[in-house]
Structure 1
Amino acid sequence: MNSYKGRKPPTSTANVNLSIPTENKRKNMEKQNLDKVLLGERLSIDEEMVPGTIHLIDLEGVLNVKKDSGSQSNIILQPQPSSNPNDPLRWPKSKKIAQFSLLWLWSFVQGAGINWAGPLFTIWTEEFNCTFAQLNIAAAICFAFLGIGSVFLQPTAMKLGRRFVYLASTFVVIISNIIGSQGNSVQILYVVNFLSGFATAPGDTLVEISTTDVFFQHERASYLSWFVLSLYAGSDLGPVASGYIVQNLHWRWCYYIQVIISGVILILQLFFMEDTTFERRETEELEDTIMQQIKSRETILSAVQSGQLSQARVNSDDKLNAIVSVNNSINTDDDSIDYSIPKRTYWQKMRLVETEYNDSRSWLTIFYRPFFLFTIPAVMWGGLVYGSQMMWLSLLATTQSQIFSVAPYNFTTPQVGLTNIGALVGSLIGMAYGGPFVDWVTIKLSIRNNGIMEPEFRLWTMIVPTILNAAGLLAYGLGVSYETHWFIPAGLGQGFLGFSMASSGAICLTYSIDSYPKLASEGLVLMLLLRNLIGCGFTFAIQPWLNKSGLKLTTWLMFMLSLVINGSFVIMIKWGKDFRRATKDSYYKYSDPMFGELFKK
């Protein structure tokens, strides 16, 4: 029995002609069918959205979004440039490279400035009447304040501008080197390493943010790998330079020369470094827009094919026709620039403090927001893997003098410094692998995946660094233990370690940023804090560990530790997307700029 429950019963259709619907009825039916299907697609879009999963490649060239103007013109620009002509994403490529080069030079010098002292440890134990353990404490202090500095200086950069923090950091580095040049005790080294570690902290976090300010997602690994290289290259070449300075001048000249170089860089920064601070206030989510365009096009074509919608209707409707037509309006889209916004003058660009495009939130809010991310697996994993690289870097920095300056090698101070050339060569190759090669692999896998990029695509490239990291530890530690030719520990061992440190650092940083793009700044701060805390703890522990276990057993234990930590990329490949899906609500909550704001305006 049919029950109408308040609905009007159907009237007789005996006298109604049902064979040929009127034109109006047909149009209404088409509209109802289209609206119904589009509503279903809208719901499916909401269900499918996973942080980090994006459309990187427009395979058919049909999306109405800005794309790369280069040879790979179907690559979608992530993020999309705003209409503001002062947006750093709209800078010419030549200007981006020029600014990047200045920042790379600064980062390189800072990397050298905190890792050059390894060859001098033997000299200082005699001159300062101290032990290797006390010198390791000085190195550990530097690591600790690298992490602490990033927590304090990152929100300062968001409020006062990147340029202000870079200038202030260079100035403090100059002061710390002046103090170091007059040092006469290990306690002075503690003060110097506290200041230099804190001031150098932006080289660990802020340079990565400056990179994402001006470069797009498909370029990210390439340029981040250059910055990782700058830190490791500085760490490798600093000891080489200090060895020759000590031989030809005096160890105090290591500080004097840094004062001179940092002074020149400060002048260059004052007159040529522009601020990349730019708070983006998009009202529309790019990935949501792309998904709607794709789903709408598929829906319309499907409706035409099934007869729910006529091709004539599509051809006559401008909106429907635009959705299904190939969009050739790509590249930089200069027409979208809002010319009513004046371009900045030179002196406006050279302001010491950024007040126009700075972060509108309170400093305190920006300060504590990174600590919310302890529940985000990709960030914690990135911090753990990147932190383990500091363990190997600390191993090389704190042991090279006591290993190579005694029998059977009996190297001079300059020769001890030259052992870092192997690590430098490895870092150069690792940069090419962890940067351009990883970007290439990611693009290829995205094309195979119908243009959709998953951050986990980058992690397949962790296979090689994992193997070489473990092999490098064995070659370094066991090579010395069995008194092999110096090339085994210094050439192969340090070379493999240099490769793995440079490549895996870039890979895990880029993976974490790609997974949660709106939390890039907070994620980097937390990862670098974890990295430097691990490096600090390891530097404190390495000498007692070596004294108790010996180099051979310590090497085997570190070998197994490296396989477990670096090899954990397999877990992220398998369940990384599930982790991102499970933390979707947390991501959207934390990425709200006002989340956690205590001092609302």
Structure 2
Amino acid sequence: MSKRLSVETSSAAASSLFQQCTPFGMSIISAGFQRSAQLLEMSSLHPEKTREQILEQADQEWIPGTVFLVDVDRSLAVQHEGQSDIVLIPQPSKDPNDPLRWSQTKKNIQFAILFYWSFMTSVATNWNGPVWGIWVEIFETSYSVLNDTSAVCWCFLGLGCLFLQPTAMTLGRRCVYLFATLIQTLGNVMGGVAKNVGVLYGVNIMTGFAGAPCDSLVQISTTDIFFQHERATRISLLTFALYSGSYLGPIAAGYIVENNRFGWRWCYWFLVIFFGALLALQVVFMEDSTFVGQRENETEVEKEIIAQVISKEEGQVYVSASSEKDQNVTVFEEKDFAAPLDIPTQRTYMQRMGLIERKYNDKRPWWKIFIRPSLTLALPAIVWGGFVYGVQVMWLSLIATTQSEFFSVAPYNFSTAAVGDTNFSSLIGCFIGMFWGGPLSDKFVAWKARRNNGVMEPEFRLWFLILPAIINSGGLLMYGLGVNAGVHWILPAGFGMGCLGFGMGSGGAIVLTYALDCYPQLQSEGMVMILFLRNMIGMGFTFAIQPWLDTDGMVTTTWLMFMLSVVFNMSCLIFIMWGKKWRKMTKNLYLKFSDPHFFL
């Protein structure tokens, strides 16, 4: 009753006031009623959404690989890199043992060991090109047979990826690295006492299998400790380590062989010494970066970020499930991190240096992890990345298997050391390519993301693949046609090999980073499949290169390789145009495959 009376009284007062108003006042009141009606109409058309509705919309808009890399106005409830607008992807956990929370100094030390290990492994598998001429004589064999021994190495590089990657997931990265270094050491001991070409097959099997982690595991170890906006730079450095080892190894071998105090066997004995020192370094300083299943699911984090953006655009306040996070937190120095009572305490040095990781390892059976890479064959970016990266390796195999044959005879008549020196041009090209495919591409992607309202598409990076595609293809023509015409060595061995080095040094890093960015929850499986495809292509090419040259001749073979380079490398344009569409089409497959228990 009292409410009704109050309403009637208010209504009468309003009516009396309305009748006494001047025309000007009446117009104001009329405009006010019209604006209220408009607001009511808008609210009926765009009612305030619930948190569940926003999340449902975010789930529909989410595409694997598309991330908010740049928080332009720092309004998102996420962890940033210090005071910058870069979003940390993945978001580090609260566990002080999380490798993403390692100090920058510790990260750099671990990465330096990975870099050195990758470099030495690459030397061990690619150094022997300049001594093939010697082996042909003393082992009474042929270049074709030596090509076969090299192809066997590529084969076991691919097989090693399949077997050692799941082992690293279940037993820890450190265990696999130590095992691989030990096998490398023993394989080089075998090479040092080799008496016939048959032993070289065994040496290549051991060094190839033990070298497999440098093709896949080092990249995963890098993603363990570095954020997405830092990965291309580090992966390009690792790519440079692999290729520089492939180039400097033959150079060093040439000088060792020509030194009167040494012989070709000392190439193996020096590797034994270096791997022995590396093993000691790994035992004392190399920590395990395995950290499985402890962080928030990256897919769910991305959906939460999209939900925040949607609510901000619609003028709503969205309460994030992780709103208690410190938005400005970055990687903590371990000594400054005070862990709450419900957070694991920081492990001691002896705990971190254990041979086998049992706390943060993958608890699934080994065989399930072993077969999971086959799932990625349904994802276009992974398959394409494997073939394009494989094409890059074809040119590395081309140089390794033909440089001694081409430059040790007329019209060049290079000595063993001079044949090895031709790799300096490839090294210089690779060094320049490292910057193009690494730091410069990282900066370009961040710049593109800022211009795209903070959203990063993996395809942004592929624009940087066009220049390497052109330079790489031109390098093939200079190398093959130049050698065939017998022109001055500066064209094939200088500019030609330099262009090939640039293409390999930048192209491999760009393709790997793109594939990892597209399907972040399947990084390990995707990397194994990419490297398996790459090494199988390398093996097939190494088996085929000598018969191919013998059958078609240098000119025809060069033009065919040129066309292969153009077709595969320039196919990046297809993914620039339709890559996002294909990621969207494979969204449900990705969600299914990224479930670690999919095969249960």
* Pick aligned residue for 1:478 from 481, 499, 502: 481
Query: 1:329/1:418 Cα in 2 relative to 1: closer, same or farther (>3 Å)?
Result: closer
The corresponding residue for 1:51 is: 64
The corresponding residue for 1:350 is: 353
The corresponding residue for 1:88 is: 99
* Cα distance in 2, alignment partners of residues 95 and 330 from structure 1: 18
Verify the 8 A CA contact 1:34 1:300 in the aligned structure 2.
Answer: no
Verify the 8 A CA contact 1:244 1:414 in the aligned structure 2.
Answer: yes
The corresponding residue for 2:19 is: none
Q: Find out whether 1:158 has 2:169 as its counterpart.
A: yes
* Cα distance in 2, alignment partners of residues 328 and 87 from structure 1: 18
Q: Give 1:43 deviation, angstroms.
A: 3.1
* Cα distance in 2, alignment partners of residues 138 and 472 from structure 1: 27
Q: 3-state SS of the aligned residue for 1:228? A: helix
Q: Find out whether 1:570 has 2:573 as its counterpart.
A: yes
Normalising to structure 1: TM-score of the pair? 0.89
* Cα distance in 2, alignment partners of residues 376 and 582 from structure 1: 10
* Pick aligned residue for 1:68 from 74, 81, 90: 81
Q: 3-state SS of the aligned residue for 2:315? A: helix
* Pick aligned residue for 1:265 from 278, 284, 288: 278
* Cα distance in 1, alignment partners of residues 483 and 46 from structure 2: 75
Q: Give 1:283 deviation, angstroms.
A: 4.7
Q: Give 1:297 deviation, angstroms.
A: 2.2
* Cα distance in 2, alignment partners of residues 363 and 51 from structure 1: 27
Q: Which amino acid aligns with 1:534?
A: I
Q: Percent identity?
A: 50
* Cα distance in 1, alignment partners of residues 537 and 154 from structure 2: 9
* Cα distance in 2, alignment partners of residues 579 and 212 from structure 1: 24
Q: Find out whether 1:421 has 2:427 as its counterpart.
A: no
* Pick aligned residue for 1:408 from 399, 405, 411: 411
Q: 3-state SS of the aligned residue for 1:200? A: helix
Q: Find out whether 1:298 has 2:309 as its counterpart.
A: no
Verify the 8 A CA contact 1:154 1:525 in the aligned structure 2.
Answer: yes
Q: 3-state SS of the aligned residue for 1:50? A: coil
* Cα distance in 2, alignment partners of residues 347 and 220 from structure 1: 29
* Pick aligned residue for 1:527 from 527, 530, 537: 530
Q: Which amino acid aligns with 1:252?
A: R
Q: Find out whether 1:536 has 2:530 as its counterpart.
A: no
* Pick aligned residue for 2:127 from 99, 109, 116: 116
Q: Give 1:338 deviation, angstroms.
A: 3.9
| Ranges in structure 1 where 5+ consecutive residues have no aligned partner | 1-13, 302-313
Query: 1:18/1:478 Cα in 2 relative to 1: closer, same or farther (>3 Å)?
Result: farther
Verify the 8 A CA contact 1:64 1:329 in the aligned structure 2.
Answer: no
Verify the 8 A CA contact 1:177 1:256 in the aligned structure 2.
Answer: yes
* Cα distance in 2, alignment partners of residues 16 and 291 from structure 1: 49
Q: Find out whether 1:105 has 2:116 as its counterpart.
A: yes
Query: 1:126/1:337 Cα in 2 relative to 1: closer, same or farther (>3 Å)?
Result: same
Q: 3-state SS of the aligned residue for 1:36? A: coil
**Further displaced range: 340-349 or 191-200:** 340-349
Q: Find out whether 1:548 has 2:575 as its counterpart.
A: no
* Cα distance in 1, alignment partners of residues 588 and 210 from structure 2: 36
Aligned residues: 558
Q: 3-state SS of the aligned residue for 1:343? A: coil
Q: Which amino acid aligns with 1:100?
A: F
Query: 1:328/1:202 Cα in 2 relative to 1: closer, same or farther (>3 Å)?
Result: closer
The corresponding residue for 1:377 is: 380
Query: 1:122/1:332 Cα in 2 relative to 1: closer, same or farther (>3 Å)?
Result: closer
Q: Find out whether 1:222 has 2:236 as its counterpart.
A: no
Deviations 1:140-198 (A, max 9, x none): 00000000000000000000100000000000001101111111111111110001000
Verify the 8 A CA contact 2:254 2:418 in the aligned structure 1.
Answer: yes
Deviations 1:223-280 (A, max 9, x none): 0000011000000000000001111111100111100000000000001101001113
* Cα distance in 1, alignment partners of residues 246 and 313 from structure 2: 53
Superposition pairs for residues 187-586 of structure 1, below 5 Å? 187-248=198-259, 249-283=262-296, 285-300=300-315, 329-332=328-331, 337-338=339-340, 340-586=343-589
* Cα distance in 2, alignment partners of residues 464 and 485 from structure 1: 26
Q: Give 1:15 deviation, angstroms.
A: 8.8
Q: 3-state SS of the aligned residue for 1:295? A: helix
Deviations 1:334-388 (A, max 9, x none): 8895454211111111101100100111111110000111111000010001000
Q: Which amino acid aligns with 1:407?
A: A
Verify the 8 A CA contact 1:56 1:451 in the aligned structure 2.
Answer: yes
Q: 3-state SS of the aligned residue for 1:114? A: helix
Q: Give 1:30 deviation, angstroms.
A: 8.7
Deviations 1:45-90 (A, max 9, x none): 12111000000000111111111126xx110000011000000000
* Cα distance in 2, alignment partners of residues 78 and 405 from structure 1: 51
* Pick aligned residue for 1:134 from 135, 145, 161: 145
Q: Which amino acid aligns with 1:375?
A: A
Q: Which amino acid aligns with 2:313?
A: E
The corresponding residue for 1:182 is: 193
**Further displaced range: 277-286 or 439-448:** 277-286
Verify the 8 A CA contact 2:58 2:304 in the aligned structure 1.
Answer: no
Q: Give 1:38 deviation, angstroms.
A: 5.5
* Cα distance in 2, alignment partners of residues 328 and 43 from structure 1: 24
Verify the 8 A CA contact 1:66 1:332 in the aligned structure 2.
Answer: no
Normalising to structure 2: TM-score of the pair? 0.89
* Cα distance in 1, alignment partners of residues 375 and 159 from structure 2: 17
* Cα distance in 1, alignment partners of residues 163 and 406 from structure 2: 37
Deviations 1:393-433 (A, max 9, x none): 01000000010000000000000000000000011001011
The corresponding residue for 1:7 is: none
* Cα distance in 1, alignment partners of residues 102 and 190 from structure 2: 40
Q: Give 1:482 deviation, angstroms.
A: 1.0
Query: 1:49/1:17 Cα in 2 relative to 1: closer, same or farther (>3 Å)?
Result: farther
* Cα distance in 2, alignment partners of residues 271 and 153 from structure 1: 22
* Cα distance in 1, alignment partners of residues 219 and 347 from structure 2: 24
The corresponding residue for 2:30 is: none
Q: Give 1:288 deviation, angstroms.
A: 1.1
Query: 1:331/1:353 Cα in 2 relative to 1: closer, same or farther (>3 Å)?
Result: closer
Q: Give 1:289 deviation, angstroms.
A: 1.3
Q: 3-state SS of the aligned residue for 1:300? A: coil
Query: 1:44/1:349 Cα in 2 relative to 1: closer, same or farther (>3 Å)?
Result: same
Query: 1:441/1:16 Cα in 2 relative to 1: closer, same or farther (>3 Å)?
Result: farther
Deviations 1:33-52 (A, max 9, x none): 76436555433212111000
Q: Which amino acid aligns with 1:220?
A: R
CA RMSD after TM alignment: 2.5
